[in-house]
A and B are shown apart, each in its own frame.
Chain A
Amino acid sequence: MDPSEVEFLAEKEMVTIIPNFSLDKVYLIGGELGPFNPGLPVDVPLWLAINLKQRQKCRIVPPEWMDVEKLEVIREQERKEDTFTPIPSPYYMELTKLLLNHASDNIPKADEIRTLVKDTWDTRIAKLRLSADSFVSQQEVHAKLDNLTLMEINTIGTFFTDSLNNLFKIRANLQPRGESTMSQEY
């Protein structure tokens, strides 16, 4: 998958906004949205929130987990554990990036949040790499990883499966060569 496709899927997540216009309920294929009243918070998908923010029609309320103390706790937990810890949102990386790029004036301490999320991401990717490395070196057949998000899986997904295929081909070629050497010796 392309990272932009993963971002596209992430844009379906709901966030809270405070609009400054009024509009009746909107009926879309995926569900209904609204009604919008100025000053009253309403839940909308991320793609609509970003569009309205760019047109200066709303103010975005940061999600609950996008808070400095909570993210610090998560980061510490991630560093302590060997396995992946559960994280508040399956699309945390995309949400952080989109919200901090377009609505950083609505999010307090935006720079610290960016650093904390990046730290958590780095730790998780490091664990993923370690686990992939041990999977290959110990020639394991089956692995189970909990609490991974789609974006993290996507970073090594295609590469990992392609390289495992190539490894299998190389290993498969090793067997017959063993037999042919025997025949040569003969």
Chain B
Amino acid sequence: MFLSDFRKDFFDVIVNQRVALLVASDIDALCACKILQALFHCDHVQYTLIPVSGWQDLETAFLEHKEQFKYFVLINCGANVDLLETLQPEDDSIFFICDTHRPVDVINVYNDSQIKLLIKQDDDLGVPSYDDIFRDDEDDDEEGNEDDSGNESDDGQEPSGKRRKFEGEAVERRIERRRERREWEARRKEILFDYEQYEYHGTSSAIIMFELAWVMSKDSKDMLWWAIVGLTDQWVQDKITNIKYVTDVATLQRHVSRHSHSNEDEENLLSIDCLRISFEFDLRLALYQHWSLYESICNSSYTSSYFKIWSIHGQKKLQEFLADMGLPLKQVKQKFNSMDISIKENLREVIEESSNKFGMKDIRIQTFSVHFGFKNKFLAADIVYAAGALLENTEKEDSKTDNFIKALDCLSRSNLDKLHDGIEKAKKKLIAIQQTVASCICTNLIISQGPFLYCYLMEGSPDVKMFSRPMSLSLLSKCLLKAFICSTKNKRCRLLPLIMAAPLDLEKGTVIVVGIPPESESSDKKNFFGRAFEKAAESTSSRTLHDHFDMSIIELKTEDRSKFLDALITLLS
């Protein structure tokens, strides 16, 4: 059921209990977890933090901890599947789910006792009404009873003519009821199919946790910053529409002005060490303040796909662009902090003007930046990239839990060295993505299969190990789709979605497959690949593992790849 008063029905319930916190592995979940941890620290709530990366992890963690805990809080996992059926909990376990995955499973919505959803009810949900889906089974029994009682009461008392008439009527009624029931079931199937067909994402969990803190008057600037990072993660991974992003930015902007006006005025300046958050209308270049401007333009998917940087023509266009702005190459290739101040002053406006000339209309995006100490200034997107790189780090053989803890740590202000480490790893990741995109486009690895585009990363490609992680592979596929749309001449192909596969584990012989919706200006980011993959796997009995919380990311045995794809093509065309 949906909770209306988060404070009364959620926080006050768990404040005196021991809680198990199950957190999914994405940045939005990490930020929500940080905010919740801070709230727990304020009120001395005992909790256990368990990172989970998929449904199997969730089940194992639940089995391990179900003896000790009665209350479970799930962040960014658990809403889109029938949780009670998957976990089989005891009757007194209570689950609080704060999840951005939609659609919310109808059983989770209509269960009143054990599942409490920390989701705002007006959040664009479209849940079918109760009567359309559930129907008491008493009607069947009544039907049976009526017939029996009808027969019994008629037994031997009435003349046979009347009895036959009674029986005739009873039979008619039964047939009528059965027909109604069949119609109702068909309608129900249709409604459920429409409801569950497309996957999308709702309001960021970090924002929901922040609003809970605000209602309790315990919100601080740190929490506000984490909420901002959570929202920016949804935007970087293309999970929400532009309109939703702008709306949520406006909500957070109100909180930012509230926090900055209450503390600072002309006479009473704040200490330089305090956290300052400010709204920025800044450039869409990844990590540009921690890199050189040239590298950032070459490695951000927006600019690199517009310029087609992988071609010689594209390089020339880039040089033209820089020359048009009057920026000398030597300056632009230097570290951003060492660029001439005269150039840095009007940089944003200059770049916006020139990019409008070259056809890039949205080079600037509404976002926030944080500033503390004398030299620490970060944009929200920088933190998202850094934490993402730490979370999916494949360089050392650390366990997933270690990476999770490192990424969680880099979000605090006191762990700046981890944050800088994350930024360096993020730079490597972005460069790897661009190189892979360039090689895929130049070697025409993207094939149109009819209803969708398909690309497979060969085993020997450089950095292929990095793309065995779901988030990195999704980011790569989005960049690849953007680049493909800019480079292909086939108008029809531009409207197709993309399926990307990369080798996951060479010993077990599995690949990881990701499906993303087609790219368009006003796309609603709804992804139908989740259900499509399920159906295709069923029909070909391929060995698949639908382990990830996003239904559109699955693991597949390499041998079953071709028949799986054929099934998909037939299904979708």
Contacts and interface: CB of A to CB of B under 8 A. Distances in A.
A166 B217 CA distance: 60
A125 interface: no
Given A55-B41, A55-B42, A105-B270, 9 more contacts: A57-B42, A100-B271, A104-B270, A105-B263, A105-B271, A109-B268, A110-B270, A110-B271, A111-B272
Contacts of A111: 271-272
A161 B269 CA distance: 44
A107 B43 CA distance: 25
A56 B43 CA distance: 10
A107 B270 CA distance: 8
Interface of A: 20, 55-57, 100, 104-105, 107-111
Interface string B253-276: 000000000010001111111100
B364 to A, nearest CB: 31
A20 B41 CA distance: 17
18 contacts: A56-B42, A56-B218, A56-B220, A57-B42, A100-B271, A104-B270, A104-B271, A105-B263, A105-B270, A105-B274, A108-B267, A108-B268, A108-B269, A109-B269, A110-B270, A110-B271, A111-B271, A111-B272
A55 B217 CA distance: 12
A107 B269 CA distance: 9
Nearest to A105: B274
Nearest to B221: A105
B531 to A, nearest CB: 45
A112 B341 CA distance: 28
Nearest to A101: B273
Contacts of A100: 271
Contacts of B41: 55
Nearest to B43: A55
B214 to A, nearest CB: 12
Nearest to B218: A56
Interface residues of B, number: 15
A-B complex: 6 closest residue pairs judged by Cβ atoms:
A108-B268, A110-B271, A104-B271, A55-B42, A56-B218, A111-B271
Nearest to B275: A105
Nearest to A114: B271
Interface in B98-135: none
A38 to B, nearest CB: 10
B445 to A, nearest CB: 53
Interface string B32-44: 0000000001110
A34 B126 CA distance: 51
B274 A104 contact: yes
Interface of B: 41-43, 217-218, 220, 263, 267-274
Contacts of B220: 56
Nearest to A106: B263
A65 B502 CA distance: 66
Contact of A104 (B42, B43, B217, B273): B273
Contacts of A56: 42, 218, 220
Nearest to B217: A20
B373 to A, nearest CB: 12
B224 to A, nearest CB: 13
Contacts of B268: 108-109
A55 B42 CA distance: 4
A56 B267 CA distance: 25
A20 B273 CA distance: 25
Contacts of A108: 267-269
Contacts of A109: 268-269
A107 B267 CA distance: 12
A55 B41 CA distance: 7
A112 to B, nearest CB: 9
Contacts of B270: 104-105, 110
Contacts of B274: 104-105
A111 B272 CA distance: 7
A56 B220 CA distance: 8
A158 B443 CA distance: 76
Contacts of B267: 108
A158 B270 CA distance: 39
A73 to B, nearest CB: 19
A55 B213 CA distance: 13
A36 to B, nearest CB: 15
Contacts of B273: 104
A104, A105, A110, A111, most chain B CB atoms within 10 A: A105
Contacts of B43: 55
B107 to A, nearest CB: 38
B43, B218, B271: residue with the most chain A Cβ atoms closer than 10 Å: B271
Contacts of A107: 271
B221 to A, nearest CB: 9
A46 to B, nearest CB: 19
Most buried by A among B218, B220, B268, B270: B270
A153 B273 CA distance: 31
B401 to A, nearest CB: 27
A108 to B, nearest CB: 4
A51 to B, nearest CB: 11
Contacts of A110: 270-271
A113 to B, nearest CB: 9
A100 B273 CA distance: 10
A105 B372 CA distance: 13
B213 to A, nearest CB: 9
A111 B218 CA distance: 26
Contacts of A105: 263, 270-271, 274
A146 B211 CA distance: 55
A67 to B, nearest CB: 12
Contacts of A57: 42
Nearest to B213: A56
A19 B267 CA distance: 25
Contacts of B42: 55-57
Nearest to A104: B271
A57 B220 CA distance: 12
B77 to A, nearest CB: 28
A57 B42 CA distance: 8
B36 to A, nearest CB: 14
A91 B268 CA distance: 25
A113 B543 CA distance: 68
